[in-house]
Amino acid sequence: MDVRILVTDHLHKVFHELAKRCGIRVDERLGATRDELLRLVPGYDVLVVRSRTRVDGEIIAAGRKGRLRLIVRAGVGLDNIDLEAAKRYEVEVVNTPTASTQSVAELVLGLMIAAARSIAWLNYRARNGVWLKERGLELYGKTLLVVGFGRIGRRVAAMAKALGMRVKAYDVIDIERSARSLGVEPVYDLCEALRSADVVSVHVPLTKQTYHLFSDKLFECMKPRTIFINTSRGAVVDAEALLRALEEGKVYAAGLDVLEHEPPATPAEKKLLEHPRVIVTPHIGASTEEAQYRVAILSLAAITRRLGICCPEAEEAIKPVCDQLEEMGLNC
């Protein structure tokens, strides 16, 4: 079967190794520009991207005029792909949503503890010869509010319970059963829930409804000295409003893995980066060896299974990944 895959963002080497063993041709064009993509994409059955490559309607239309049948988003968020156009042109889009769940959840825990104890700032001061014995906060017994109780939100909740935190969760869908089964209290009024939360962790997708969801209005609902964590998408938070909340003491500290502009570009984002109580990481939620390995394996699995390619080597690699995800309560 003559299947051609175009990869435009960096993937774990196991993807290339396995594809070769399955007899699939993979061409890598890292950093391809939009014009290059428009020219190249009709020659491929599958386009594999991560978050860097923007796949707009024109690219999909160009692909459809040629061989393009499938777009694989090797990762979670689909906000860089024009899903409506893909539907219109009947190009299937798949992602690997569970591959990085554990890695992001672990980063959230890291940011929560780092924010509560000002680890990054105190380390920076110590390196510069200032031995500041600043007093921080414990997480034990505190209330965590998870906003967006999906895959990552649920994993964060389960791990926070192990730290002795009380966990509440808010979502726009019915989470009563999934929350209760994890010993989490579902809440239905976000502003009300923010009034009682010590730590808030955001795990919603970026949509028209969630753009700047956290703006002045919601920060005002928070009780003073809240720890605020965002590892979802930067544009879910209005950076200027977060800065004001920090200055007014509503937010005690913030841990941000994502910003609306990456790297930070606006004055507010630059101020957040320099703020002693803000920890910014450069969108590394899914950047672990384990997550990237799973992303690569699940991307290849999506391709072989969708295109009906029989490859025992790939199936052999997929099984342990799926077993591990099931152990974490996640779908393969």
Catalytic residue among 262, 275, 277, 305: 262
Catalytic residue among 64, 155, 203, 233: 233
The closest alpha carbon to 264, from 285, 288, 237, 246, belongs to 237
Q: Can 233 be counted among the known catalytic residues?
A: yes
The closest alpha carbon to 114, from 264, 231, 253, belongs to 253
Q: Toward ligand NAD, which CB reaches closer, 22 or 71?
A: 71
Q: Toward ligand NAD, which CB reaches closer, 104 or 321?
A: 104
Partners of 230 in the β-ladder = 202, 256
Q: Toward ligand NAD, which CB reaches closer, 100 or 226?
A: 100
Structure-block tokens of residue 331: 């779908």
Tokens 């879910």 -> residue: 236
Q: Toward ligand NAD, which CB reaches closer, 61 or 156?
A: 156
In the complex, the smallest distance separating the C-beta of residue 10 from ligand NAD, rounded to whole angstroms, is: 14
The closest alpha carbon to 9, from 295, 309, 315, 256, belongs to 295
In the complex, the smallest distance separating the C-beta of residue 287 from ligand NAD, rounded to whole angstroms, is: 7
Q: How many residues does the chain have?
A: 332
Question: What one-character DSSP code corresponds to residue 235?
Answer: G
Q: What are the CA-CA distances from residue 171 to residues 145, 174, 175, 179, 328 (Å)?
A: 11, 7, 7, 10, 21
In the complex, the smallest distance separating the C-beta of residue 103 from ligand NAD, rounded to whole angstroms, is: 8
CB count within 10 Å of CB 120 equals 19
In the complex, the smallest distance separating the C-beta of residue 77 from ligand NAD, rounded to whole angstroms, is: 3
Give CA–CA dist 226/217, Å, rounded: 15
Question: What one-character DSSP code corresponds to residue 218?
Answer: H
Question: What one-character DSSP code corresponds to residue 214?
Answer: B
Q: Which residue is nearest to ligand NAD (CB)?
A: 150
Catalytic residue among 16, 283, 305, 306: 283
Give CA–CA dist 118/112, Å, rounded: 10
Quickly list H helices, 22-118. Answer: 34-40, 57-65, 83-88, 101-117
Q: Can 34 be counted among the known catalytic residues?
A: no
Tokens 């009024």 -> residue: 189
Q: Toward ligand NAD, which CB reaches closer, 255 or 285?
A: 285
Q: Are 192 and 214 in contact (CB under 8 A)?
A: no
In the complex, the smallest distance separating the C-beta of residue 210 from ligand NAD, rounded to whole angstroms, is: 5
Which residues here bind ligand NAD, judged by CB under 6 A? 76-77, 97, 100-101, 104, 147-153, 170-173, 203-206, 209-210, 213, 231-233, 257-258, 283, 285-286
Distance of CA 137 to the CA centre of its chain: 26
Q: Toward ligand NAD, which CB reaches closer, 40 or 108?
A: 108
Q: Can 212 be counted among the known catalytic residues?
A: no
In the complex, the smallest distance separating the C-beta of residue 75 from ligand NAD, rounded to whole angstroms, is: 6
The closest alpha carbon to 269, from 319, 296, 235, 294, belongs to 235
Q: Toward ligand NAD, which CB reaches closer, 8 or 231?
A: 231
In the complex, the smallest distance separating the C-beta of residue 2 from ligand NAD, rounded to whole angstroms, is: 33
Q: Which residues are catalytic?
A: 233, 262, 283
